[in-house]
Amino acid sequence: MTETHKNYIAGEWRGSESASRNLNPSDTNDLVGLYAQASAADVEAAVAAARAAFPTWSRTTPLERHDILARIAAEMTARRDELGDLLAREEGKTLPEAIGEVSRAALTFDFFAGEALRIPGEKFGSLRPGVDVEVTREGVGVVGVIAPWNFPLVIPSWKIAPALCYGNCIIFKPAELVTASAHKLAEIIVRAGVPAGVFNLVMGRGSVVGQAMLDHPRIDALTFTGSVATGRKVAEACTARMRKFQLEMGGKNPLIVLDDADLKTAVEVAVNGAYFSTGQRCTASSRLIVTKGVYGRFADALAERMRALTVDDARKPGVHIGPVVDDGQLQQDLSYVEIGKGEGATLKLGGERLNRATPGFYMAPALFVDADNDMRIAREEIFGPVATMIPARDYDHALALANDTEFGLCGGICTTSLKYASHYKRNAEVGMAMVNLPTAGVDYHAPFGGRKGSSLGAREQGRYAVEFYTTVKTAYTMA
């Protein structure tokens, strides 16, 4: 009989009445495991434990927190290949991508181990004689972490590591599809010596566990990454409770290719940004905006490069693109291919379901050309291996098209012109701008986030994370 992996609440592993089946999207005959489904009562118990743990945990020394975070980083690094294999098996990104994700997650814990020793503060001279003014930062309290499925380890890590670093307690709800990586991460965190109540894992449905977190009056702050629709619910619930929150949501990220771009570089940047990780990245280059002097040559070169991509089992050596994460997402991707055709865009390549040796959710990467920026395939996030090429008259037109979107996460430009690169960096309405680099792929120590409909609240990652996970106190002393 397959064992059910339990939730971790108040310092103990707890079972539940029901379990969810975690299936391998490369081979649906492969059961990755059974995972306990938490209830609203489990969330209640987790919050109570976290509240009880906060006064002691928030007063631990920076060194104690450093050591725990460093131990988590060390174990993740040592088990990189094993954790990467599990991640690829449950989510469907290729093995090198999955192992890379584990490394980045480990580096994130390592970074915040260091940050625990560098918690910033300031001292001001006062307007009044003999008075000192000190500005310090304290943890906000109990932090709810709600994560998506597309980066099963790295997104939880870039939330959990700073939360622990600054002395917060955590209720972690992973996405339903990627409980295996979340469970492994929880085991590692527990083994590193986090006291009971400080870290709690509650796996289960968004509508049950996630909603119970939104409704809970004693969670002090909520960090969320996921879709715009769910983000809106998080914002409404948090606003109603006057609670701090942070949202990272969707994107419709443009990559501009100018006539003067190095064609080979532009094709690699586009293939990587649009199709790697099966296009399931919030930073994916789903709109390719190409000026007319290079349009035809770029489309042909990109299509030729795409024909050399292998789509197969995520864990097979040499595979470039794994399966789509599940049947629901695959149906959404395929339906957008039909929508694009119906809107009058030309499907140059791909877009069909593929059969492989094992039953999985395989799809040929799709390229639409001659699309209009007003089409649904250019405006709505598809979240799959589908890119839409849009012609532009010149740089100014390309920039206007790039900015004509309700999203603002990431954007890129391929050009050899310093003038256009500089102008683009200044005028792109995005949180992250890339020059001659894929829109997807960021450094773990630099701020991550967007603007417009993509993000709300403080930035994630690096030193900027301190804004969300701490609250500032200004103390006045008369000596």
Name the minimum Å distance from CB 430 to ligand NAD. Answer: 11
Is 44 an active-site residue?
no
Q: Give the number of other CB atoms < 10 A from CB of residue 444.
A: 20
Q: Which of 90, 115, 248, 467 is the binder for ligand NAD (CB under 6 A)?
A: 248
Task: Examine residue 250 and tell whether it contacts ligand NAD (CB under 6 A).
Answer: yes
Name the minimum Å distance from CB 421 to ligand NAD. Answer: 24
Binders of ligand NAD in range 275-314 (CB under 6 A): 282
Task: Examine residue 35 and tell whether it contacts ligand NAD (CB under 6 A).
Answer: no
Q: Which of 25, 92, 226, 351 is the binder for ligand NAD (CB under 6 A)?
A: 226
Q: Select the span of 159-167, 242-250, 358-366, 386-394 touching ligand NAD (CB under 6 A).
A: 242-250
CA distance linking residue 328 with residue 208, whole number of Å: 20
Q: Which of 251, 411, 412, 438 is the binder for ligand NAD (CB under 6 A)?
A: 251
Q: Write down the catalytic residue from 165, 169, 282, 410.
A: 282
Task: Examine residue 108 and tell whether it contacts ligand NAD (CB under 6 A).
Answer: no
> What six digits make up the tokens of 94?
């290729």
Q: Which of 91, 97, 176, 333 is the binder for ligand NAD (CB under 6 A)?
A: 176
> What six digits make up the tokens of 168?
């917060």
Q: Which residues pair with 123 in a beta bridge?
A: 134
Residue with tokens 């599940």: 326
Q: Which of 25, 148, 323, 408 is the binder for ligand NAD (CB under 6 A)?
A: 148
Q: Select the span of 130-138, 143-151, 301-309, 417-425 touching ligand NAD (CB under 6 A).
A: 143-151
Name the minimum Å distance from CB 231 to ligand NAD. Answer: 7
Please give the C-alpha separations between residue 336 and each of 145, 279, 379, in angstroms, as whole numbers.
31, 13, 11
Binders of ligand NAD in range 430-459 (CB under 6 A): 454
Nearer to ligand NAD, 205 or 423 (CB): 205
Task: Examine residue 211 and tell whether it contacts ligand NAD (CB under 6 A).
Answer: yes
Q: Select the span of 18-26, 210-218, 298-306, 398-406 touching ligand NAD (CB under 6 A).
A: 210-218
Q: Give the number of other CB atoms < 10 A from CB of residue 286.
A: 29
Q: 3-state class of 146 per DSSP?
A: strand
- Cβ contact 449:460 at 8 Å: yes
Residue with tokens 């969707």: 250
Nearer to ligand NAD, 32 or 266 (CB): 32
Nearest residue to 294 (alpha-carbon basis) of 124, 415, 451: 415
CA-angle at 164, arms to 161 and 169, nearest 5°: 130
Ramachandran assignment for 344, one of left (phi > 0), alpha (psi -120 to 50 degrees), beta (any other): left
Task: Examine residue 381 and tell whether it contacts ligand NAD (CB under 6 A).
Answer: yes
Q: Write down the catalytic residue from 115, 248, 460, 467.
A: 248
Residue 293: CA atoms inside 13 Å, Cβ hemisphere, count?
Answer: 11
Nearer to ligand NAD, 68 or 409 (CB): 409
Is 82 an active-site residue?
no
> What six digits make up the tokens of 431?
């949180």
Nearest residue to 75 (alpha-carbon basis) of 97, 45, 105, 34: 105
Binders of ligand NAD in range 397-436 (CB under 6 A): 409
Q: Which amino acid is at 443?
A: D
- Cβ contact 350:367 at 8 Å: yes
CA distance linking residue 379 with residue 276, whole number of Å: 20
Active-site amino acid positions: 248, 282
Which residues contact ligand NAD (rule: CB under 6 A)? 146-151, 173, 175-176, 206-207, 210-211, 214, 225-227, 230, 233, 248-251, 282, 381, 383, 409, 454
